[in-house]
Amino acid sequence: MIDKNKLDYISSYISKLLRKKFGKGPQSCQTNLNGKYLVTYLRGFVSPMEDILLEQRQKKTVNDARTLIMDHLLEEIKGVVQVSINVEVTEYYHDWNFPNNSGIIIFILEEGISEEAPEPSVDKVGLEEEIARISMLVQKVPDQIYIYPISPTVFLVERVGILVQIEKALISKGFQQELKFTKDELEKEYFHRDGRFEVLFQKSVKDIFIDWNFKDDKSMMAFILDK
């Protein structure tokens, strides 16, 4: 069992680091851990400069700049996570919802840490079927889908085998960032508009986040629910 103080320390460190690098830190930052998944949910984190660019409909400019900075900072945060809980981090993901002024950072650990898993408040088979249905509308049905409850209000979904051939060709030609930005907009539109997730969770869905690992052909999604 991980001391909650360690998770609070990770949240505090992330907040201070973002404030130092962006000139503004998140209004709230909360970290949860279950098994080998450590998830930090941030709210109220758009800098004044980003706010101006977003008003000018320069979302891709903001997204590219933030991705570049976060990919650098996450190496430092990864080290802090590893030292704090004494477990290696094998992968990390991040995504941002600018209209909601929120974001997520997901760390996958080398080994699971014994935690009391939250009782799933969702029909996992129904959720897998809904994820598969909407994924098919955008690209293809994933080869595998895994559901990971992290807390009563945080659920992760891992999709493996999601890329179609034209996407693989674009990646091989060096168009990863363009593909990721396009997939991010398209998938979120479909998942928000066509998904029956509030029926499945029986709660309001505050946020849906998506990030990809093109090298391993997989994606991590996060659902943030209202309490």
pTM, whole model, 2 decimals?
A: 0.92
**Do the beta carbons of residue 206 and residue 198 sit within 8 Å?**
no
Domain total in the chain: 2
Of 62, 80, 113, which residue is a domain's last?
A: 113
The answer to whether residue 161 scores a pLDDT higher than 70 is yes
Residue whose structure tokens are 């974001």: 103
Q: Is residue 119 a part of any domain in this protein?
A: no
Q: Are residues 103 and 132 in the same domain?
A: no
What is the span of the domain harbouring residue 166? 124-225
Q: Which tens digit of pLDDT belongs to each residue from 27-69?
A: 999 999 999 999 999 999 888 888 899 888 888 888 888 888 8
Query: Contact at 8 Å (CB) between 141 and 132?
Result: yes
Tell whether 118 is covered by a domain. no
Domain final position from 60, 94, 113? 113
How far is the C-alpha of 96 from the C-alpha of 207, rounded, in Å? 10
Q: What is the CATH number of the domain that holds 79?
A: 3.30.980
Q: How confident is the model at residue 117 (pLDDT cuts 50, 70, 90)?
A: low
- The per-residue pLDDT for range 8-33, each reduced to its tens digit, is 999 999 999 999 888 888 999 999 99
As given in the structure block, the two tokens for residue 30 are: 């909360």
Radius of gyration, alpha carbons of the chain? 17
Report yes or no: 179 and 171 within 8 Å, Cβ to Cβ. yes
pLDDT number for residue 116 = 60
Instruction: Give the pLDDT band (50/70/90) at residue 177.
Output: confident
Give 209's strand partners: 222
Same domain (yes/no): 14, 47: yes
